Amino acid sequence: MSECEHQLAPKFFQAPSYIDGAIVTEIVQGHAHCTPNPRTHLQQRSLFSRSIIEDTNLSASYDFVITGGGLAGLVLASRLSENPSNTVLVLEAGESGDAAASQIDIPDGTYFSSMIGSSYDWQHVTVAQTNLSNRVVGWPRGKLLGGSSAINAMYLVRPSSLEMDAWGALSLSNTDDSSAVNRWNWANMYAAMKKSENFTPPAPSVQSVVNISYDASTHGSGGPMQVSYPAVMINIVANWTSALAGAGIPTLEAPNGGVTMGAFISPSSINPANWTRSYSRSAYIDSLPPRGNLHILPGATVTRLLFSDSSSSSSGLIVNSVEFMNSADNKLMTISVRREAILAGGSLGSPKILLHSGVGPKDVLDAAGVPVKLELPGVGQHLQDHLTAGVVWDTPLETAGDLYYSQSDFSKTPEFQSFINDAVAFVNNSALFGFTNDSATFQAAVQAALDDSASGLVPTQYPEVVQGYKAVYNLTAQFMDQTAQLELLLSLISPGTVSIQAALQHPFSRGRLYINTSNPLDPIIIDPQYYSHFADVVMMREGVKLARNVGVAFGTTLGAEITPGPDVQTDEQIEAWLRGSGASTQYHPASSCSMLPKELGGVVNANLQVHGTANVRIADSSIYPFEFAAHLGSVTYGVAEQAAVIIQSNAFTVPSSASHPKSSSVGQFVPIPWLATMPCILLLCLAGQSFI
């Protein structure tokens, strides 16, 4: 019998159940797999890195150049390279991630050995937030192949059908055909999201601890991304849906099928074959056979898109090459584009590239010293994020944090390391205000504040951006009772404590991001303008009250409240706590390159084309015109799957008259204004020295 056959032979293993906080061992029958240990899997990763190259292997030109090797970028790379006639290049600023494979692949690494703050994190920060006691808020984003899908908490929670259909309707303009807009309705996006998935139901041993409601038909089968549940559950989770029911929030029997509101245990991006994280690289790239038409270059920071001097008046500006800096030797290089440049840098990366390419609001570009190629006011506008705040109790029961820090043999097993927080609930405005008349009164107040909000809160001089804000504001204000306004999340990762977080889902505050220098290596300026609209702090205040009610329904499972504590009770006290230290980000930035008509400050049309360009598209979380009541990973997989179909069907071809000059080939320096503004030390770096 071969080693693999031996491993596949039926065997018994111990699977823990959690009863009243104590570990009870039961014997269940199962099957081991050829790679039961994640670390064995990690040792084999180099065998699958066939498409990851060094700059010496670059071709001079590619049909498609994708800027960003994160969640969406790698999905697109995989799908577009399925056609052997397409040549595809991915330029990723971060590293491959191979050196940190154990941190990436082990699910609970997202809590206990986080990569936030490391070289695999962009380490973005906001400007000081006036309405958060002048706090600066960290916005971590993944800086490696897989992007934030390699470091996030792996929840798979979709938006509602109402939100998706509203997005499609909002995206319609006079220049779009109905078929393009219909791609973004629920029916088509539902199919695209399922296309990315391969769903595995929870194991019987898990179901015996926590009765998980699911409907396999709401998920995909045979897709690249593995979707399942942890190998073990902790007993506190079993109380989740019953506690929510006690607080008036029913169990959602079929999550992710178009209805959001209710309580459930979310599936996650987990591979049940070896209990590892399933993310865009492992799902869409590592599993591929060798493809000579796909190149992925880590350590390549895209600085600008370069436009042809000649462009067709009917099609718009034509990108003929992409400029990037290679971190291996700090050289500026250019790659010619034969068909399209696709931005997949996320809500922060994609607008930054556009701005440094001269595409964006003229006032921002002029102030930064970047020549205007295309005035497009919406770039960087409509910026939104989900804020969250947690109520914390002590508990007499054992948490995942207790088990992890015990450093027991069990805590080091792949089964335990697959446990992540999965208990969530979504509530609408009526549930948030306790099903009283206060809900209707609050909604009326929000609707009445539209004009004042639009004139005072939208940071722009362009009327079309203001009109876009009004359109989205009206939409989200109208469905406050029909869609979820707040998410509740159960967290068990700290020793001796349990947290229930209240996360705002449809913020009315709007911010922006922009540049203030012409140097693409300088940080982008991020200003979400948290709590600039009164509705956001009111909804989170009521969310804290609701979380407390759920805590009461848990009974003796929870002990004394630690945070914000028994001294914080009145509305004024809760709001002061939220502004002072309680509220922070849920890490879901969106909408900075919104899919809206140009007359509403939009950046891309329903075909994902940047308005005013012939061959630039954006496919990432920056295109959502409003925040969804969801986690953004699942819907972004759907966007990337949709984008691949759109691009395959009608990709632009750069005419020979607009091709990049042969003199500017791979690896050559190109004259650009921002080099003259760089410090001497950086100029030395560009000459081939290492960064200090």
Is the pLDDT at 62 greater than 60? The verdict is yes
Q: Between 677 and 559, where is the model more confident?
A: 559
Report the C-alpha gap between 568 and 491 in whole angstroms.
Answer: 21
Phi first, then psi, for residue 364 (nearest 5°) are -70, -45
Report the C-alpha gap between 151 and 153 in whole angstroms.
Answer: 7
As separate numbers, helices (DSSP H) first and strands (DSSP E) second, the chain gives 24, 26
Is the pLDDT at 229 greater than 50? The verdict is yes
Decide: 689 and 77 in contact? Cβ < 8 Å.
no
Decide: 203 and 168 in contact? Cβ < 8 Å.
no
Report the C-alpha gap between 648 and 532 in whole angstroms.
Answer: 42
Is 544 labeled as ligand-binding?
no
pLDDT band per the 50, 70, 90 thresholds, residue 21: very low
Report pLDDT for 173: 61
Report pLDDT for 659: 81
Decide: 106 and 505 in contact? Cβ < 8 Å.
no
Helical H segments across 519-603, by residue range: 534-554, 571-577
Of all helices (H) and strands (E), which one includes residue 72? helix 71-80
Q: Which of 198-202, 244-248, 312-316, 368-372 has the lowest mean pLDDT?
A: 312-316
| DSSP letter string, 128-145 | PBGGGTTB--EE--B-BT
pLDDT band per the 50, 70, 90 thresholds, residue 310: confident
Report pLDDT for 103: 93
| Contacts of residue 646, Cβ cutoff 8 Å, sequence gap at least 6 | 180, 183, 607, 608, 617
Is the pLDDT at 31 greater than 70? The verdict is no
Q: Between 679 and 529, where is the model more confident?
A: 529
pLDDT band per the 50, 70, 90 thresholds, residue 653: very high
pLDDT band per the 50, 70, 90 thresholds, residue 336: very high
Helical H segments across 247-345, by residue range: 280-284
- Give the tokens for residue 222: 């045979």
Specify the 3-state DSSP secondary structure of 604: strand
pLDDT band per the 50, 70, 90 thresholds, residue 691: very low
Is the pLDDT at 506 greater than 50? The verdict is yes
Q: Which of 123-127, 177-181, 211-215, 369-373 has the lowest mean pLDDT?
A: 177-181
- What are the extents of the domains in the chain? 3-656
Is the pLDDT at 657 greater than 90? The verdict is no
Helical H segments across 412-494, by residue range: 414-417, 429-432, 438-448, 450-457, 463-478
pLDDT band per the 50, 70, 90 thresholds, residue 661: low
pTM score, two decimals? 0.90
Of all helices (H) and strands (E), which one includes residue 168? helix 161-170
- Give the tokens for residue 334: 């250019």
Beta-strand ranges (E) seen in 238-330 are 262-265, 270-271, 276-277, 294-297, 300-307, 319-326
Report pLDDT for 181: 75
Report the C-alpha gap between 603 and 594 in whole angstroms.
Answer: 6
Report pLDDT for 36: 37
| DSSP letter string, 95-120 | B-SGGGHHHHHSTTHHHHS--TTSTT
Report pLDDT for 487: 98
Helical H segments across 201-255, by residue range: 204-207, 235-238, 240-246
Is the pLDDT at 126 greater than 50? The verdict is yes
Is the pLDDT at 690 greater than 90? The verdict is no
Residues belonging to the chain: 692
Mean pLDDT of 107-133: 97
Question: What is the distance, to the nearest Å, from the Cα of residue 342 to the centroid of all Cα atoms in its chain?
Answer: 18
Q: Between 613 and 42, where is the model more confident?
A: 613
- CA proximity to 92, closest of 48, 61, 51: 51
Percent of the chain with pLDDT over 70: 86
Placement of tokens 């700090």 in the chain:
330
- CA proximity to 420, closest of 205, 200, 110: 110
Report the C-alpha gap between 157 and 579 in whole angstroms.
Answer: 27
Percent of the chain with pLDDT over 90: 79
Decide: 235 and 246 in contact? Cβ < 8 Å.
no
Domain 3-656 carries which CATH code? 3.50.50.60
- Give the tokens for residue 190: 């539902």
Is the pLDDT at 667 greater than 60? The verdict is no
Could you read off the pLDDT of 604-618 as tens digits, one per residue?
999 999 999 999 999
Placement of tokens 């009250």 in the chain:
545
Report pLDDT for 5: 29
| Mean per-residue pLDDT over the chain, rounded | 88
Q: Which of 209-223, 365-379, 428-442, 613-627 has the lowest mean pLDDT?
A: 428-442
Report pLDDT for 309: 86
Catalytic residue selected from 124, 219, 356, 588: 588
Catalytic residue selected from 124, 386, 533, 631: 631
Strands 61-67 and 331-343: parallel
Decide: 66 and 280 in contact? Cβ < 8 Å.
no
User: Is 631 one of the annotated active-site residues of the chain?
Assistant: yes
